[in-house]
Every structure is written in structure tokens, then in C-alpha cells.
Chain A
Amino acid sequence: MFDEMLGSDGNVREPYADYKNWLDQEDTKRLRRKSHDAEAFFRKTGITFNVYGQDEADERLIPFDVIPRILSAREWRKLSRGIEQRVKAINAFLYDIYHRQEILRAGRIPVELIANNIAFLPQMIGVNPPGGIYTHIIGTDIVRTGPGEFYVLEDNARTPSGVSYMLENRETMLHMFPELFAQIGVQEVSNYPHNLRRSLAACAPPKCQGKPVVAVLTPGIHNSAYFEHSFLADQMGAELVEGHDLKIVDGRVAMRTTQGYTAIDVIYRRIDDDYLDPLNFLPNSMLGVPGIMDVYRSGGITIANAPGTGIADDKALYSYMPDIIEFYTGQKPLLENVPTWRCSEKDQLEYVLEHLAELVVKEVHGSGGYGMLVGPAASKKEVEDFRAKLIDNASNYIAQPTLALSTVPIFVKKGLSPRHVDLRPFVLVSPDRIDITPGGLTRVAMTKGSLVVNSSQGGGTKDTWVLEE
């Protein structure tokens, strides 16, 4: 088991040396009090998320742990180079798959994987997104199993969430432990909202006149990530709109203001493709804007991320990412994929069924940690129930080995105790540059031994530090 603070041998690893010195001098009572303060601060600020199907009593806090997760500048360089390579490949892949489909012609990925995939949007074929960008915002999920072993678990190319926690976690740490930041050089994250606005504005559509008007499209205050939507709009100085604030006026998407309708140029949408346009997708959607796809196609609006990007982070396609990276960049992937069995293929399914109790099995279109099996943590009955589902609809699943995720200590009653973590760095893509905020969101499984870090399943978060060079 690899602990990022104490290594495998119990000696403090270099990136944590200064912090651990500070921590050893620190009074446990003071830390406990700070830990309480942090919770009160999050509640007061309204940094909460709603749990679906529950009433307001269940507006919950994501647990925050006061011990930071620390990466050295060298580790970060390796990671960010790998992420950048991947993000470039994803955008090239999306352009290709919605235009000439060279990668299919070259036989590098099976045609049916695209043709039969609900994440592939035929409405996007031949459409050129403004600035040539499909995924303006990406949150790459990374796990670690050893000092140099990083794996990409998921690419999150649709609407990654959690960036507000990255920012508020840092604010909270600065507020609680200012002296730490004076002693230890930690790279800044606070530029993110500014960079987000800049990169969205850099992709203004052809019909934009003057300074681009940017808006965040939210499903509304009952959405689990509403806090983040309003936070980002606020920090960017953008409008926060819902579907019923918008309509098509003179071929543009316009928002209803106190002085009439005003055109929007760039829309950062936090609703899924299906809900975007009842005329083109789900006819019953109340969240989107009827006709927005037609405006999009005619260059009247930029939608970020572009519709149809989901095909790039589809779990069935994930196992082909190394081929995709090579095909478009001509290079070997810098970051590894987790080995993946495709249950759609007969021999692979057989292997999965034989080793079910050792594997992690995921739904191809699932997210948020729902509908998955963690073999080693499941009871015999759960494994058998899952086996039935798997046999019934094999192509709906992929399987991966249960990785020995790295741990970072969290602060518990008795002091420090290791917990498994992952990392979601946030990437912004513009026509001329790629910005990766140093750090990202560290998610931590608060239960001892658990590998599930999703906030919907009780996971918490930590501030993530990348040390200065």
C-alpha cells in the first residue's frame, strides 16, 4: 500500500517534509477546532449539495479534511504533460469523429462502437464548433498506485464538476492556516475563474459583436451542483440563466433582462446534451432552449462543452484511448490507462465472470459511483446479483482490476489515519492554449479501506497543493 505522505516504508516523502514538520509542532486540539470551524464556514457560505429525491433537510456538506494532499513540482510536470497530450487527442478525435472519421476508416476503433453509441450525436456531424474546440472544460480523473505510477481513470469530457470545491478548499485553508502558506511555497489556483472566462470568450461565435456575453446555464436551485453554477457565474462576472430565461430572438439565443431580450454569445451549460434542446433532443425537456441547436449550427452561439463530447469519455471507448492518443498525436501516451476488459467481447466477458470477486465492474454510461460493483468489497450475494445483471446485458459493462489506490492521511479523532484518494485536475482549452490549474480536486474515501471517493457516496475532499519549483 502506497501512502503519499509516508511512502511504503513509513519515512516522510519529500513533498510532505515541510508540512509534516509543521504538523508535528501543531497542537491536536487546535487542529480539531479548525476542523470544526471549516465545517461551520462551509455551511454559512452555503457550499452544500442537494441530495436527489430528498427535501431541503438534506442539503449536505461534502466532508472537508484539513490535511492537504501535496504533489511536488516534478510530479505535477509529469502529470500535466500527460493530461495536455490526452486533451489534445480528445479534441482531435471529436473533430474527426464528427467529420471524416479517419480513425474508423483506419480501422483503429470498431465502427459499431460509434454507430451504436447513444453518446454519439448525429446532429453534430459536419458542425464546426467556434474556435474549433469541443471540450473547453475537462476534469481528468487520475489515480495513483506508487511513487511514479499514475493512471487515468476517466476523462470527464462532458460537464465535470467540483472545481468550486477546489477553489473554496484553498480559500478555507488560507483562512485557517495563513502561516503555512507563508512558510511553504504552494502554486496558486485562484486564477481559474478568470481563465475560464478568458477561454470561453476566446471561442465567441461568428455572429458575436463586441465583447462576448457569457452565461452559465443551470437546471436551477434544486440541482445538486447549483452552488457551483452560481459560484462560477459570480466569480466570472457572467449571468446565471435557466432555460426559461432564454429564447431564440432574431436567430440568436437571448436572455430576458429587466430591459428586454439581450443576445448571449457563449453559454457554459451545466445540463446534459439530452436536455439542451427539446426540438432536437428530449421533447419534454424544460431545462433547455427550443431551437438552440439551429442557432448553434448557424454560428449564433458557442455551447461549452460542445454537444456530443460525451462520446469521448464513454466508458466503452475508454479502453481505446491509448490508440486514439497515438493516432492523433503520433506519440505513445504519457499517462497510462487502467487495463480494461470489454464485456461486449466474448472472451473478455468470460474472464470477467471468472474473476468477478476481484474486479471493479462499471456501467458504460454510468457516473457518480452508481450502479457499479467493487468486487473485493461486495458480499457473495451482491457479486451473484451483479453476475446476473452482467450476463443479461454484457455490452453495458466494462471491468477493471481493483487498483491499490494511494492513500493520504486524514485527520480523525485519534490523529492521522490513511484513506484512499483520487485526483481531478481541471483543464481549460482555448484555440491558442491549454491551462491546467496546478492541483485540482482531491477526493477522499472517508471510510477506512473504502475505495469509493464519490461525494454522492459519502466521499470527502482535500485541498491539493502543487509545490513551487
Chain B
Amino acid sequence: MLGKTAASLFWMSRLLERTENSARLIEAGFRIALTHSSSAADEWASILASSGAKKSYLAKHEDYRSAKVIDFLLRDRDNPGSVISLIKQARDSARTGRIALTREVWEATNEAWMNLKTALAKPVEERDLPDVLAVIRQQSSLVRGAVLGTMLRNDGFNFIRLGTFIERADSTARILDVKYYLLLPSIAQIGSAVDNVQWETILRSVSAQRSYRWLNGSDISALSVAEYLILHRQMPRSLAFCYAQISDNLGYLEREYGNEVTSHRLADDICDRLLGQPVQNIFESGLHEFIVEFLAANNSLAAQIETDYNFQDRIS
């Protein structure tokens, strides 16, 4: 497979995953804005920070009014991280890698772009927002379904999955990065109702508020929320889950190509060193430091995958 094609598949799924995560973040923020309007501005600021878009937002807008933030995150073509920009780039990637995709995967991606262009053609009114966000998540799910249902389990498939899980791990870690202070033990001990709302927001932004309850009943504690998002192996958006998948996908590529690569070693090191410790240790040595280190490691892994599989021409 061409290096460029592998890169296209990797980025197609990364960008689609990002649209989906962005929709979840907006949903969580919107809920706070509706129910606790006093903290809405803070919430939007932290969502913009999680999406890495705070600076570019402030260059254009002066306050965090919900309508403005939502429009910026969904529809602003000047914002490369807006859903409309992301879906366009995801579809361009799919076009570039078209010959490695099944007809169903290509059409699902193309239709996702067409449908989101229609859904986001005009500013989204508050009453329509939940529906639009649902459409965004759905479109991404349809592509994933087509990938799982129709793609050969070959190298192309593994590059698609790598894109998904690298992005998902990044997204979950960024949410933790922005909200980590809510999970610090000193604040957790206060145990007020407001904190519960905040923790719920964290869970909601990874679509995990229900599953968390199935597993933990109604006890929400900082330690168990952090453990759930970082280390829980059944929770499909946890860092540990993403890394188990990443390690599998890289292992497949090594076997398929018959050569050992640095990225697989890096991934296993992240699994063992960062994700192989009890949550108490993470808190003891510092939750924030842990997240910062993880984000950096995840980034270098993505760069190493690019290098190992010749995504771009390296000037030698």
C-alpha cells in the first residue's frame, strides 16, 4: 500500500472521530448552559480549550455566548477544527485513499459530508441543536459500521483503526486535561452537589454517564471517574482501551509486513509504564503531570507511526 494511502485512511478516521467527539463536547456544554447558566461561560471556555480552539476563538469573539461558541465549533469554515471543516477534510482524505476503501465506506463518508453540509448550511437554532448533534454522531457511526462490516482485515483496515484510537485517546485525555482539577482529592473531599454535576459533565462528554452508573451505581467519586476514563479496559473511550487496540493494530502490521517498528515498542511502553499502574499511583505522582505526559506520548506515537509507515516523503 502507498504511504500516502495509509496516511489518508489514518486521517479519514481520525477526523471523523474528531467530529464525533466535538459533538459530544458541545452536547455536554450545552447542557450546562441550559441548567447552570452562571457557569456556562466557564464551561464553553474549557470546551474550546479541550478542542484546542480557544486562541482562535478569542481572536474572533469577545465573549462566550453559547450561540457564538456553538457556531464557531460547528460551522465556522475559518476554524479548521469546526465540524464542517473536519468533515470536509475527512472526505478529502477518503477521496485520496478511495482505492483502498470499499464502496460502502466511501459512500458512507461521502454521504456524511453531504448530510452535514445540509444540516449545517444555516446557523443551528438552540431547539434544533440536539438533533444536529445526533446527526453528527450518527454519520460517524455509519462510517465506522461500514468499515467494520465491509473492509478486509488488511493493512488498510489497521491504519483506519489506528487513526480512530489515537484520536480517541487524545480526546479523552484532553477532556481530563481541562477538567483534572475537579478530580483532585482536595476538592473531591468537599463533595458538594456542584461537583457531581461537573463530574457528570465529564462522563457525558465521553458518552459514559450511563455505563458508569451500571458499573458503579450512584456513587460518583473523583478516583473512580478518573479510573474509569483512564484505566477501565471495558470502557471504549478509556485510554487503556484505546491503547490495547493500538497495540493490536500495530502488532498486526508488524506481522503482516514482517518487520519490527519503533511505534509498536512506543505503544507497548505507554501501555505498561503509564497505563499499567493503579489509579492511586497516578494521583500520588500527580494527575495533571500524568495527563501532560500521556498527551505528549500519544503525539509522539502518532508521529512515529507516520515515520515508520512512510506517510510522507522524508528528505534524505
A residues whose Cβ falls under 8 Å from a Cβ of B: 43-46, 56, 220-221, 226, 230, 233-234, 239-242, 244-245, 247, 255-260
Contacts and interface: CB of A to CB of B under 8 A. Distances in A.
22 contacts: A44-B107, A44-B114, A46-B106, A46-B107, A46-B110, A56-B88, A221-B95, A234-B98, A234-B99, A240-B2, A240-B5, A244-B4, A247-B313, A255-B2, A256-B310, A257-B1, A257-B2, A258-B1, A258-B155, A258-B257, A258-B310, A259-B310
Nearest to A255: B2
B96 A221 contact: yes
B4 A259 contact: no
Given A45-B107, A239-B2, A245-B4, A260 B95 contact: no
A234 B6 CA distance: 16
B3 A44 contact: no
Given A239-B2, A256-B4, 7 more contacts: A46-B110, A226-B95, A234-B99, A257-B1, A258-B2, A258-B309, A260-B310
Interface string B100-123: 000100110011001000000000
Contacts of B2: 239-241, 245, 255-258
Contacts of B253: 258
Contacts of B155: 258
A230 B5 CA distance: 12
A230 B76 CA distance: 30
A147 B185 CA distance: 90
Nearest to B309: A258
A59 to B, nearest CB: 10
B92 interface: yes
A162 to B, nearest CB: 19
Contact of B4 (A56, A230, A242, A260): A242
Interface string B57-101: 000000000000000000000000000000010001001101100
Interface string B119-145: 000000000000000000000000000
A257 B3 contact: yes
Contact of B95 (A46, A247, A256, A258): A46
Contacts of B114: 43-44
A56 B114 CA distance: 11
A257 B257 CA distance: 11
Given A46-B106, A258-B155, A258-B257, A230 B88 contact: no
Contacts of A234: 98-99
A225 to B, nearest CB: 13
B111 A230 contact: no
B218 to A, nearest CB: 46
B106 A258 contact: no
Residue among A45, A56, A221, A241 with max Cβ neighbours from chain B (10 Å) = A221
A239 B96 CA distance: 12
A221 B92 contact: yes
A220 B313 CA distance: 16
A259 B110 contact: no
Contacts of B257: 258-259
A307 B165 CA distance: 45
Contacts of B1: 257-258
Contacts of B88: 56
Nearest to A239: B2
Candidate in A45, A46, A221, A241 with the most chain B CB atoms within 10 angstroms: A46
Contacts of B99: 230, 233-234, 239-240
A288 to B, nearest CB: 15
A220 B8 CA distance: 13
A255 B3 CA distance: 9
Contacts of B111: 44
Interface in B1-20: 1-6
A241 B100 CA distance: 12
A44 B104 CA distance: 10
The 5 closest A-B pairs by CB, nearest first: A258-B309, A230-B98, A234-B99, A256-B3, A221-B95
Contacts of A233: 99
Contacts of B96: 220-221
Given A221-B96, A259-B257, A245 B3 contact: yes
A255 B313 CA distance: 10
Nearest to A230: B98
B107 A258 contact: no
